[in-house]
Amino acid sequence: MALGVVVVGSVALDTLELRGHVHPDVLGGSASFFSVAASLFAPVRLVAVVGEDFPEPHRAYLAERGVDLAGLERAPGRTFRWRGRYSDDLQSRTSLDTQLNVFADFRPQLPAAYRDAELLFLGNIHPALQLEVLDQVRSARLVALDTMNFWIGGELAALKKVLRRVDTVILNDEEARQLSGEHNLPRAARAIHALGPRTIIVKRGDAGALLFYWHDGKQGVFAAPAYPLEEVVDPTGAGDTFAGGFIGSLARSAAFDAGAIRRAMFHGSVLASFCVEGIAHDRLRTVTMTEIEARYAAFCDLTHFETLRL
Ligand code: AMP
């Protein structure tokens, strides 16, 4: 049986500027992408807050995907809002506006049923909130964390406090460099390991993801490519969707051995490859298990090769 996952993170209304088009108030936030991806593999319980303006169809979509919303509070005020503009090649983006709104006063109170979660994902949100949730889940066998430049730059002391209590950190290459002060990624991973986590996943956009680990005195590294798509529509949420596929897959395996972790890296890559095929959640909304299995098989084909015997 799959293990239970609890996630805390942002549930947002995003305004995306992509190739001259503006997409206002689409569903976003680290926890929305994570939850939808992870719930394809395992039961997911969401901890977040939205405002009175949060559209009912977004809530209904998360519920239809099987996400437990008992921990999604509706508070007086406006939902968290983020506005981003992408370069035409989609390789870089600028955050134009971040409005915390209801997240500014959020004090997560986990429903009793959430406290026995086996996997805890501290999604991208203020590190003080990540810590409050961590304190309420006592039974977690694996705690993973994501963050971003906004918090590394502004809340480093609080972030370091959380990192000391986390097994796995999932962040992108620029964030790994900013957090560690090292440009070289293996060195950056080593420096982050010194802050607490023993598994460090560095997401590199269309260059795939690297896994650095220090387990049972052994150090290792593993790589998963990104799927070579002919057309990318919107990269928003790809990182959170990767994390959801990764953690959901581990929860489904109910094991954290090397084989399970490698499969999880590919499940993360599969889900992220679907995410970027549509605006915001558009492609995740329709993806089926059959499509996921077919792309997983395509990944196996893409990366398989024989050991060289001389
Ligand atoms: P990603 O593309 O995986 O980095 O995730 C993008 C999502 O992160 C968007 O849907 C935003 O709503 C959300 N986001 C942006 N800035 C923040 C922030 N400071 N805290 C929490 N979530 C954020």
Q: Choose the residue to mutate in 10, 47, 85, 175 for probing ligand 1, maximizing ligand atoms within 8 Å of C-beta.
A: 10
Q: What is the pTM assigned to this prediction? A: 0.96
Per-residue pLDDT tens for 36-55?
A: 999 999 999 999 999 999 99
Q: Going by CA atoms, what residue is nearest to atom 6 of ligand 1?
A: 237
How confident is the model over 255-275, as a mean pLDDT? 95
Quote the pLDDT of residue 1: 85
**Spatial separation of the C-alpha atoms in residues 125 and 9, rounded to whole Å:** 5
Tokens of residue 102, six digits: 């209801």
Q: How confident is the model at residue 177 (pLDDT cuts 50, 70, 90)?
A: very high
Nearest atom in ligand 1 to the alpha carbon of residue 124 is 21
Per-residue pLDDT tens for 193-216?
A: 999 999 999 999 899 999 999 988
How confident is the model over 102-109, as a mean pLDDT? 93
**Spatial separation of the C-alpha atoms in residues 52 and 62, rounded to whole Å:** 17
DSSP 23-61: EEEEEE-HHHHHHHHHTTTS-EEEEEEE-TT--HHHHHH
How confident is the model over 267-285, as a mean pLDDT? 98
Nearest atom in ligand 1 to the alpha carbon of residue 81 is 12
